[in-house]
Amino acid sequence: MQLLLEVKDSKAEFILELLKNFSFVKAKPLTTANTQFLEELKSSVEEVNLPQEGKIKLQSAKLFLKEL
């Protein structure tokens, strides 16, 4: 199982050191680029789910093609 934890910068070093002391845990920090990618991916998935939840209505394919 993989977990993604969000930790305050001031506590990150402590948490990483703590996790490294468990033999069954592999811990490594994410790079800034990876963090940004994951945030954008999360946002995209939430946007894709909006029509399924009935929060927005999608335009029809015919209307879309007319705009082109």
36 within some domain: yes
State pLDDT tens for residues 15-31: 999 999 999 999 888 88
61 within some domain: yes
Q: Do 19 and 25 meet the contact criterion of CB atoms below 8 Å apart?
A: yes
Domains contained in the chain, number = 1
User: What is the reported pTM?
Assistant: 0.57
Helices in the chain by DSSP H: which ranges?
A: 9-20, 32-52, 61-67
2 within some domain: no
19 within some domain: yes
Mean of the per-residue pLDDT values for the chain? 91
